[in-house]
Amino acid sequence: MSKLKLVVLNNCDDLGKKVEKHLRDINKNDKNYLVKMKSDRFSNGEGKVSINESVNGSDLFILSDVGNYGISYMMHGKEHFMSPDEHFEDIKRVISATSGHASKINVVMPLLYQSRQHKRRGNESLDCAISLQELERIGVDNIITFDAHDPSICNAIPRLPFENFYPTHTILEEMIEKEDLGELLVISPDMGAMERARYYADMLGCDVGVFYKRRDLSKVVNGKNPIVEHMYMGADVKGKTCIVVDDMIASGGSMIEVCSHLREKGADKIYLVATFALFTEGTNKFDEAYNNKLFDKLYSTNLSYVPDEVKNNNWYVDVDCSRYLAVIIDTINKKSDIEELWNGKKKIIDKIRKKLG
């Protein structure tokens, strides 16, 4: 077993510190797992990463949140907020600075870079596959991510380990502790999220429903075909607690429209669950929807950046997944069996039974 070293980029500083603390707790020591590093930006926007300690022979885990839109620097005298492309370049800079020294390089991207550009139609770029292949070429030994938009993207790197974990049981544990759930029904907001919804339903032992998005394929608005109609297929929602699940919330318009339909159909309570809450158009839609009683709570994780002003909303619940991530890193470092990390179904069932008494 190689010594574990953790490189935390400044885009996930809080999460990285929590993970490091859990690593010390897990291993019952006061060892410092964090690698001393510095990330600089020149005034023209170019970047540089310096590793300020030896990583020779280490099992290196590079933790980065490519979705962090809260980090800025001065470029040509103006404030510039970093994009996912810039965060990804910083990952490659760390790899460049440590390659040939570390015995193994693991890239931990909870939010997979370009995960929504996982397939193409016609002359489109295939960014996610290209970025994964690039990481493989420059010496990465393992990719660790959460709730990939399409897990089959691993086929782009068939010889490289691609560990795709789900925070399902961590989110559900929090929800079971805090909410009176009643008779449950898991809802997929579209056909693409159906596998994820079935996974949640299997954990909870309940039925599942799905909305079909009929789109106008003749138009493109903000990079996608506009939704014309939501059609529901599944069990009756009347009087039930509905849990609407997806991998990420971007603008949130589609999710809120689903909530509106569920209210019209007589749903008792509506909880939204997303691994990543991006809020690409702010939270005004959610504020308005919550005030109009279209949903009860939104549960999301700290695996990607969410501003404090969002976390402080009455409708938002921040689920801390840092210990789960620390256990994953520790298990992979020790080359232990990761199978039990894939599914916490037994723990969820036991919690439900205990709460129902």
Which residue's entry shows tokens 């933790």?
63
Helix (H, G, I), strand (E, B) or coil at 199: helix
What's the predicted TM-score (pTM) here? 0.90
Same domain assignment for residues 55 and 187: no
**Mean pLDDT of the chain, nearest integer:** 90
Question: Does 286 fall in a domain?
Answer: yes
Radius of gyration of the chain (CA): 21
Closest CA to 126 of 169, 96, 155: 155
- Residue 48's domain is classified under what CATH number? 3.40.50.2020
- In this predicted model, what pLDDT tens digit does every residue of 24-36 receive, in sequence order? 999 999 999 999 9
Question: Does 346 fall in a domain?
Answer: no
- Rounded-to-integer distance, Cα 44 and Cα 77, Å: 9
Q: Which structural domain range is residue 240 located in?
A: 168-320
- In this predicted model, what pLDDT tens digit does every residue of 195-232 receive, in sequence order? 889 988 988 889 999 988 776 666 676 666 666 677 88
Q: How many domains does the chain have?
A: 2
Share of the chain above pLDDT 70, in %: 91
141 in Cβ contact with 160 (< 8 Å):
yes
Same domain assignment for residues 83 and 136: yes
- Rounded-to-integer distance, Cα 51 and Cα 73, Å: 20
Rounded to 10 degrees, the C-alpha dihedral 305/339/273/187 comes to 150
Average pLDDT of the residues in 233-261: 92
Bridge partners, residue 248, by sequence: 276
Select the more confidently predicted residue: 253 or 321.
Answer: 321
Closest CA to 67 of 109, 108, 30, 21: 109
Confidence tier at 193 by pLDDT (50, 70, 90): confident
Q: Report the pLDDT value the prediction gives residue 345, as an integer from 0 to 100.
A: 60
- Rounded-to-integer distance, Cα 27 and Cα 7, Å: 18
Same domain assignment for residues 154 and 39: yes
Same domain assignment for residues 146 and 181: no
